Homo-oligomer: A and B are copies of this chain.
Amino acid sequence: MLEAWRKSRRVVHAHCDLPCGVYDPAQARIEAESVKAIQEKYQASEDPAFRTRALAIKEERAELVKHHLWVLWTDYFKPEHLEKYPQLHELFWNATKEAGLAKKSEDPAQGQKLLDLIDEIAKIFWETKAA
């Protein structure tokens, strides 16, 4: 198990503006997983206090998704990546708009759409790392 975990993480790279060079779409994905889980739990509960908390927390998690995606878009991706993946701008625009919609939606299907867009971004990200 540990070996698998270590391997899956070996490609992890950085994300601050020093820059440290460490970036990882997992940051956006973990928050988006949380968003979708909250949407599911919201549907499964009828307790108004629980639902209020779910909405407030989802608001924050969706904001974090946006933030992590914006950082990848501006800081990690370079003109040479855009040349190879001309859809990058549009893809990030749609994904961050979808994260914004997640604040307004209590439907797990919406959360899944957000996850799918992040997966598209992650696929490109890891291809550029492997290149």
A35-79 with Cβ < 8 A to chain B: 37-38, 41, 48-57, 59-63, 66-67, 70, 73-75
| Contact indicator A75/B100 (Cβ below 8 Å) | yes
Report the minimal beta-carbon distance from A88 to chain B, rounded to whole angstroms.
9
In the complex the two chains form, what is the Cα distance from A5 to B70 in whole Å? 21
| Contact indicator B38/A18 (Cβ below 8 Å) | yes
| Contact indicator B17/A57 (Cβ below 8 Å) | yes
Report which A residues bind B (CB closer than 8 A).
Answer: 1-2, 4-9, 12-18, 20-22, 24, 26-27, 29-30, 33-34, 37-38, 41, 48-57, 59-63, 66-67, 70, 73-75, 89-90, 93, 96-97, 100, 103-104, 106, 119, 122-123, 126-127, 130
Report the minimal beta-carbon distance from A50 to chain B, rounded to whole angstroms.
8
| Contact indicator B38/A16 (Cβ below 8 Å) | yes
Residues of chain B lying within 8 A (CB to CB) of residue A103:
17, 53
A-B contacts, 24 listed (Cβ < 8 Å): A1-B130, A2-B119, A2-B123, A5-B119, A5-B123, A7-B8, A14-B37, A17-B57, A18-B41, A18-B50, A20-B38, A20-B57, A22-B33, A24-B30, A26-B30, A49-B55, A51-B52, A52-B52, A52-B55, A55-B56, A66-B70, A73-B93, A73-B96, A89-B93
